Structure 1
Amino acid sequence: MAVAQRRPRGRPSEPVLSAERITGAAVRLVTSRGHGALTMAALARELGVAPSALYNHVATKQDVLRRVQDHVNREVDCSAFATLPWDRALTAWARSYREVYARHVPLVPVIAVTPVRGAPHTLAMYERVAAGLRAGGWPAHLVLDAVVAVESFVLGSALDTQAPPDIFEPGAEAADGSALAAAVRARAGADPALAAFELGLAALVEGLRAALRRATAAPTATATG
């Protein structure tokens, strides 16, 4: 009669790795210590493994950054493009985008420079946005310009959420009748960063509406002699 082999006692010498665990650790590392702190050695320490163990799951640091980008972008809601006009959908997407990155501000440099190739959730987000703009009448050659314009504004606003409350206080150097000091005193609202975002977003979307009207206007006929 065969005797079943017993499983060795004790824990594995190293934690079991997966792409998901590596991505989660990378997100925690960047969020807590900043974009520059993400190295393969630091990631291995965070996971309690040897650096060589990481390469069974990820090829390079760029691969890790792509996974981080994709992980966070899953949180951005772009569903409004399926039901709303392009301008209202773009507004909803921008608000969600900012809210997500306001919670992950140290990841802003990652989203700003990491290619989307190989990041399925990120690609799906941009595909939905691009399709929504095209359905709204945007010419193909202007779609990415509109997306980048909104994205640049959103990511800058996400960074602004971390600004200190007194960032515009001129202090004792303010001259009598200083326009800046008066503006600081007059600024109202519990969340000035959000108020600035909403003002800028409204202006940006209105500007995009005007740009679309210009881009799709019929050429003016000119009289010939």
Structure 2
Amino acid sequence: MSRELILTTALRVLKRTGPDGFTMNALAAELGVKTPALYHHLGGKSDILAGMREYISDRIDTSAFGVQPWSEAVTVWARSYRRAFAAHPHAIALLATLPITGARRTLTMYEAVSRGFRDSGWPEALIINTVVALENYILGSALDAVAPPDMLEPGDFAEEVPVFAAGLRARDQAPNSISPADQAFELGLAAIVTGMEATRAVLTQASRQH
């Protein structure tokens, strides 16, 4: 068994069982091996979880930092971050509250992002909180990307919420080449990045004056 096989199988099991049903026994059964064999190849469950995190974060694009302006680079990063986790939505609940210790390549991703922020003028004390604020939005949007398309339908209560129902119809009837979830993500991302870019510009100007 290769590391790649174990991790891709783990993500497939997670997709089927959800976070609560994801166990080493379930993973071993899917691979057709005894559970102790997993510890021989990839260590304990914490190592597998770290590997799963790395597998997903490898799909997050940090290449625009240091090459494109900050607002464009962070948009590239955010879009790829959302795609990576939308492909494995159960991983959000499983990994969101676990330390990233052991996930070396995930830490490398954060290092590239942090450098991109710092080199663009963000004060060190604000870098992590700004990244986390973006992550909170991105992960919520990744879940929305895989939500049922009729999630907001009011059904029999449409007459009781006429403004909401009308807004929903207007959204669905408006010509657009991307899904409502993608539209909402792009709208929110543009607003967030615009606000953060304004904050960054003010902070950069202030630092130059001191």
- Look up the match of 1:200: 188
* Residue pairs, 1:32-47, within 5 angstroms: 32-47=16-31
Q: What is the CA deviation profile of residues 123-154 of structure 1, one whole-angstrom value per residue up to 9, with x for unaligned ones?
A: 11111100000000000010011111111111
- Closer, same or farther in 2 for the Cα pair 1:186/1:68, shift >3 Å? same
Q: Which structure is higher in helix share?
A: 2
Pair member with larger Rg: 1
Amino acid of the residue matched to residue 207 of structure 1? G
Within 5 Å, give how 1:1-225 maps onto structure 2. Answer: 17-175=1-159, 178-187=162-171, 188=174, 189=176, 190-216=178-204, 218=206
Note closer, same or farther for the CA distance 1:178–1:54 as it changes in structure 2 (3 Å cut): same
Q: Provide the rounded CA distance (Å) in 1 between the counterparts of 2:36 and 2:161.
A: 63
CA shift digits 1:163-215 (9 cap, x unpaired): 22222222232336711011011103350000000000001101212332444
Residue of structure 2 in register with 1:14 after alignment: none
Q: Which has the higher contact order (CA 8 A, sep 6+)?
A: 2
What secondary structure is seen at the aligned counterpart in 2 of 1:75? Answer: coil
CA contact (8 A) 2:54 2:105 kept: yes
Q: CA deviation at 1:60?
A: 2.3
Contact preservation (8 Å) 1:66, 1:114: no
Q: TM-score, normalised by structure 1?
A: 0.83
Does the C-alpha gap of structure 1 residues 58 and 136 become closer, same or farther in structure 2, counting only changes over 3 Å?
A: same
Letter in 1 for 2:123: P
Unaligned runs of 5+ in 2: none
Q: TM-score, normalised by structure 2?
A: 0.88
Report the Cα offset of residue 110 of structure 1.
3.2
The sequence identity of aligned pairs, in percent, is 46
Structure 1: which amino acid aligns with 2:136? S
CA distance in 2 between counterparts of 1:218 and 1:177 reads: 48
Given that residues 38 and 44 in structure 2 are in contact (C-alpha distance below 8 angstroms), is that contact kept between their aligned partners in structure 1?
Answer: no
State the SS of the aligned residue for 1:80.
Answer: coil
Are the counterparts in 1 of residues 121 and 203 from structure 2 also a CA contact under 8 Å? no
The residue number in structure 2 matching 1:3 is none
Amino acid corresponding to residue 200 of structure 1 in structure 2:
G
Q: Secondary structure at the match of 2:153?
A: coil
